């Protein structure tokens, strides 16, 4: 299993456009805390970034001996807004960025049936460059539940179409999100994303799901037992000899500094590498 940390941890939970760290500082912190990789988001680098920044990133990864696990290549994907699936209509810039950053995994969003035609075309283009496009189990998409995700995989029917398994979204959407659910998607899972939440009617964060309407949640610490028991998932992945990415995808909590959050995530999860 390869352990990655998302640059989401450098963002506050209510702002996905601003990072509290520079790309240089984030990579050095991730490397110092012995992560195998980082998942990059548009608050740090995107298809709109300058050639200078992309070249700088290439050098930083090489100097710090760390990989890019996956890219989320524009802000619409990060927000999952009404333009999130537009990436499928023009996938080339995201493929270019992935190649420059030496990652094979690119996040996409398939939000409705009209997107499937374009997803297939994007996947065919990505296959020519040995790249994979990953749909996250996520509110507001055709992958809100395990059953829907399985159906989507069969409908898309492309070998380079993969899944980012994310249990918090599944829980909010009313889907199964246990080990049996993961087992169904494990053959297609290229990345396991973890953010810890509890359902809270007074929570200030809203997941606008298709199945359950607006679901209020509260972000909690990674090891909070009232949220999702991530350690049972990690034990299961180790048992199954899962050798792909596990990514900490937690936003910065109000009582944390970025440095402490990254250090804490390292202490919690790096023992699961094998």
Residue 116 pLDDT class (50, 70, 90 cuts): very high
Cβ neighbour number for residue 97 with a 10 Å cutoff: 23
**Sign of the C-alpha dihedral, residues 119, 11, 30, 243?**
negative
**Domain regions of the chain by residue span:** 2-272
Q: For residue 66, which of 120, 115, 103, 14 has the smallest C-alpha distance?
A: 103
Backbone angles phi, psi at 15, to 5 degrees: -145, 105
Q: Which residue has the tokens 């990579």?
A: 27
* Domain covering 2-272: architecture: Alpha-Beta Barrel (3.20)
> Which positions ≥6 away from 20 have C-beta within 8 Å?
10, 11, 12, 252, 258
What is the DSSP secondary structure assignment for residue 19, as one 8-state letter? Answer: -
pTM: 0.96
Classify the phi-psi angles of 157: left when phi > 0, otherwise alpha if psi is within -120 to 50, otherwise beta.
left
Q: For residue 191, which of 30, 70, 65 has the smallest C-alpha distance?
A: 70
Q: What is the pLDDT of residues 22-70, one digit of tens each?
A: 999 999 999 999 999 999 999 999 999 999 999 999 999 999 999 999 9
Over pLDDT 70: what percentage of the chain? 100
N-terminal to C-terminal alpha carbon distance within the chain: 6
Supply the pLDDT for residue 274: 60
**Sign of the C-alpha dihedral, residues 263, 223, 234, 247?**
negative
Over pLDDT 90: what percentage of the chain? 94
Q: For residue 124, which of 150, 85, 156 has the smallest C-alpha distance?
A: 156
Supply the pLDDT for residue 257: 93
């Amino acid at each position: 299993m390869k352990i990655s940390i998302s640059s989401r941890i450098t963002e506050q939970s209510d702002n996905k456009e601003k990072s509290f760290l520079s790309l240089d500082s984030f990579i050095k912190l991730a490397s110092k805390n012995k992560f195998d990789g980082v998942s990059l988001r548009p608050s740090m680098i995107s298809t709109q970034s300058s050639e200078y920044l992309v070249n700088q990133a290439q050098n930083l990864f090489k100097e710090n001996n760390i990989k890019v696990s996956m890219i989320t290549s524009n802000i619409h994907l990060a927000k999952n807004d009404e333009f999130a699936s537009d990436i499928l209509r023009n996938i080339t810039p995201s493929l270019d960025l992935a190649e420059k950053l030496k990652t094979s995994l690119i996040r996409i969003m398939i939000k409705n049936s009209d997107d499937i035609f374009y997803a297939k075309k994007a996947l065919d283009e990505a296959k020519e460059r040995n790249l994979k496009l990953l749909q996250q189990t996520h509110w507001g998409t055709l992958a809100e539940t395990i059953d829907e995700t399985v159906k989507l995989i069969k409908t898309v029917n492309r070998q380079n179409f993969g899944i980012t398994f994310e249990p918090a979204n599944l829980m909010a959407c009313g889907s199964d999100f246990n080990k049996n659910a993961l087992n169904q998607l494990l053959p297609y899972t290229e990345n396991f994303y973890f953010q810890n939440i509890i359902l809270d009617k007074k929570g200030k964060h809203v997941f606008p799901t298709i199945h359950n309407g607006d679901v209020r949640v509260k972000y909690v610490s990674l090891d909070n037992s009232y949220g999702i028991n991530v350690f049972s998932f990690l034990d299961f992945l180790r048992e199954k000899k899962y050798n792909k990415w596990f990514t900490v995808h937690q936003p910065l909590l109000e009582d944390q500094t970025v440095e402490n959050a990254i250090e804490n995530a390292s202490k919690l999860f790096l023992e699961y590498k094998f």
